[in-house]
């Protein structure tokens, strides 16, 4: 159960009314409470954010925007959406905010709709180098209706910027293809993004710069990563990763003409009724992120990611680009064992109560189903109160489990060793989680 009387009461009521669903929610609450969440895009929201979502606001249609709705009875919804918009603008220091996108992918789709016509070209990072599916995957709307061209990372290991963005290549790709939009911002990139350099490349070819800061939004809001403003024409983000809000999207800009196009593209272009209960929770999360404590949180997120990366390097793993500047890292497992895949690592670590995702590393020779890497992040563990010593402990546990896993490959006795190691670590993880409960 959560450490939160309202959540407990909610679950109790659900258990009486719908035990089928309540059982699984209770199990999930227990899973989250007793495991270490290392997925870089996940976090634990505050009880205030959680409760704002579970309110009567879900009953209401509020199509339109504050002061211009298509339904009656929206007076309080106007106040709530205005609070969310105002706080978002303060948080990111910009002039316009649309808080209605249901997700980051929908925010990106709406921005593409606002800034381009079907068939237009846009530039983004090679997707397997850390990009996102909404940045031009062939079977995503972005790749089906628009024409993506891609810029790479530096692939030469002897280059000082190995596995970092090749900004000269960005300029070359832009000059060659003259895209309407240049996208930056990524799902698995551990380094600081040079937004000014990106804007220079966009200006040189007449493109608009769109920064998708879904992963680093919290760090940007806290001033721990440079802001995309004033460089980006448009900024998109999710609200649930480092920003620690409810699951959802957000679009920001300083330009009034773009803001008008974006509002139209979100509604009625992409979406109907906004999720007002989620918008209320976004407002609450933005309010939390405006507090000084959020800066301390984000500073510790980066310190924790660095501590985990350094400990893993000491244990013989390779961290792509040599480390991290933000909340995440990509761990290349091959130096530890060429038999070790990301898929195996993800599965074995879950047995031991540490949750992560397999992830391709740049130029990965293995397919996405297996991968040579895992992606690890520190937002959720930092929310629990972990500091550097706990992150080093996590690295040691990861290594113990993966070493036992590697031993188990093709060995008759190895499976038992893996099972007992995972069971022992699972107990130790459970006990650390008890010492650092999810704040409630
Ligand atoms: N699926 C998200 C992630 O894990 O990074 C991106 O949207």
* Maximum Cα interatomic distance, the chain, rounded to a whole number of Å: 69
Q: What is the pLDDT of residues 372-406, one digit of tens each?
A: 999 999 999 999 999 999 999 999 999 999 999 99
Distance CA(192)–CA(165), nearest Å, equals: 10
Distance CA(216)–CA(132), nearest Å, equals: 14
**Which structure tokens are listed for 9?**
């009461």
**Which structure tokens are listed for 85?**
């918009």
* For residue 258, cis peptide bond before it (omega within 30 degrees of 0): no
Ligand 1 atom closest to 105 (CA): 7
Distance CA(307)–CA(313), nearest Å, equals: 10
Q: Whose CA is nearest to atom 3 of ligand 1?
A: 41
Q: How far is the CA of 185 from the centre of ligand 1 (A)?
A: 12
- pLDDT averaged per 10 residues in sequence order, the chain, 440 residues: 78 96 97 98 97 97 98 98 98 98 98 98 97 97 98 98 98 98 98 98 98 98 98 98 98 98 98 98 98 98 99 98 98 96 98 98 97 98 98 98 95 92 98 96
122: Cα separation from own chain's centroid: 22
The residues, ordered by sequence, that sit 6+ positions from 265 with a Cβ below 8 Å of its Cβ are 110, 111, 113, 114
**Which structure tokens are listed for 223?**
């001033």
**Paired residues of 122 in beta bridges:** 148, 181
- Can you give the pLDDT at residue 412? 84
- Can you give the pLDDT at residue 330? 98
Helix (H) or strand (E) holding 430: helix 414-435
Distance CA(303)–CA(325), nearest Å, equals: 9
Distance CA(44)–CA(39), nearest Å, equals: 11
- Do 265 and 116 touch, CB atoms closer than 8 A? no
Q: Whose CA is nearest to atom 4 of ligand 1?
A: 41
Ligand 1 atom closest to 238 (CA): 7
Q: Helix (H, G, I), strand (E, B), or coil: what is residue 368?
A: coil
Please give the DSSP secondary-structure letter assigned to residue 154.
Answer: B
Q: How far is the CA of 187 from the centre of ligand 1 (A)?
A: 6
- Indicate the burial class of 147 (C-beta count within 10 angstroms; 0-12, 13-18, 19 or more): middle
Catalytic one of 8, 15, 60, 61: 61
- Can you give the pLDDT at residue 123? 98
- Can you give the pLDDT at residue 4? 83
Distance CA(359)–CA(320), nearest Å, equals: 12
Name the nearest CA neighbour of 310 among 389, 392, 429, 394. 392
* Residue 63 among the catalytic residues: yes
* Residue 241 among the catalytic residues: yes
**Paired residues of 124 in beta bridges:** 150
- Can you give the pLDDT at residue 1? 44
Ligand 1 atom closest to 104 (CA): 7
CA torsion 358-297-96-132 (nearest 10°) is -10
The bridge status of strand 208-212 relative to strand 147-151 is unpaired
Distance CA(45)–CA(34), nearest Å, equals: 16
Distance CA(151)–CA(68), nearest Å, equals: 41
Helix (H) or strand (E) holding 331: strand 328-332
Ligand 1: does its nearest atom lie under 6 Å from the Cβ of 132? yes
Distance CA(60)–CA(41), nearest Å, equals: 29
The bridge status of strand 208-212 relative to strand 64-65 is unpaired
Catalytic one of 237, 238, 239, 382: 238
Name the nearest CA neighbour of 168 among 197, 190, 139. 197
Ligand 1: does its nearest atom lie under 6 Å from the Cβ of 358? no
Where do the domains of the chain lie, and which CATH numbers do they carry? Answer: 56-289 (3.40.640.10), 293-435 (3.90.1150.10)
Ligand 1: does its nearest atom lie under 6 Å from the Cβ of 377? no
- Do 238 and 249 touch, CB atoms closer than 8 A? yes
- In this structure, the chain runs to a length of 440
The bridge status of strand 234-238 relative to strand 249-253 is antiparallel
């Amino acid at each position: 159960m959560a450490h939160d009387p309202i959540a407990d009461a909610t679950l109790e009521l659900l258990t009486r009314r719908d035990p089928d669903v309540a059982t699984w929610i209770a199990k999930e609450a227990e899973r989250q409470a007793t495991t270490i969440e290392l997925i870089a895009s996940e976090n634990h929201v505050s009880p205030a954010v959680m409760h704002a979502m579970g309110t009567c606001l879900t009953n209401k249609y509020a199509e339109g925007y504050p002061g211009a709705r298509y339904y009656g009875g929206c007076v309080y919804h106007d106040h709530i959406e205005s609070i969310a918009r105002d706080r978002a603008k303060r948080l990111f220091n910009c002039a316009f905010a649309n808080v209605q996108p249901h997700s980051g992918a929908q925010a990106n789709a709406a921005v593409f709709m606002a800034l381009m016509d079907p068939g237009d070209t846009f530039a983004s990072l090679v997707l397997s180098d850390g990009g996102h599916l909404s940045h031009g995957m062939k079977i995503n709307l972005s790749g089906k209706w628009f024409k993506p061209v891609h810029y790479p990372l530096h692939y030469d290991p002897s280059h000082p910027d190995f596995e970092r963005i090749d900004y000269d290549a960005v300029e070359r790709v832009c000059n060659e293809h003259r895209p309407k939009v240049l996208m930056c911002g990524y799902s698995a990139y551990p380094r600081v993004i040079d937004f000014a350099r990106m804007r220079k490349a966009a200006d040189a070819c007449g493109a608009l710069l769109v920064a998708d800061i879904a992963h680093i939004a919290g760090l940007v809001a806290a001033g721990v990563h440079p802001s995309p403003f004033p460089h980006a024409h448009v900024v998109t983000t999710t609200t649930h990763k480092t920003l620690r809000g409810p699951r959802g999207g957000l679009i920001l800009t300083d330009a009034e003409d773009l803001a008008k196009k974006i509002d139209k593209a979100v509604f009625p272009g992409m979406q109907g009724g906004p999720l007002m209960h989620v918008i209320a929770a976004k407002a609450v999360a933005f309010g939390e992120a405006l507090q000084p404590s959020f800066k301390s949180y984000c500073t510790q997120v980066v310190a924790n990611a660095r501590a985990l990366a350094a400990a893993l390097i000491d244990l013989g793993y390779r961290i792509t680009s040599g480390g991290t500047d933000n909340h995440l890292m990509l761990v290349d497992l091959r130096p530890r064992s060429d038999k070790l895949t990301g898929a195996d690592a993800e599965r074995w670590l879950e047995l031991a109560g540490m949750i992560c995702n397999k992830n391709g590393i740049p130029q990965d020779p293995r397919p996405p189903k297996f991968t040579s890497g895992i992606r690890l992040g520190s937002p959720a563990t930092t929310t629990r109160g972990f500091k550097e010593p706990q992150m080093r402990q996590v690295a040691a546990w990861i290594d113990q489990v993966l070493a036992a896993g590697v031993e188990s490959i093709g060995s008759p006795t190895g499976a038992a060793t893996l099972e007992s190691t995972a069971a022992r670590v699972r107990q130790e993880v459970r006990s650390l989680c008890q010492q650092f409960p999810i704040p409630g």
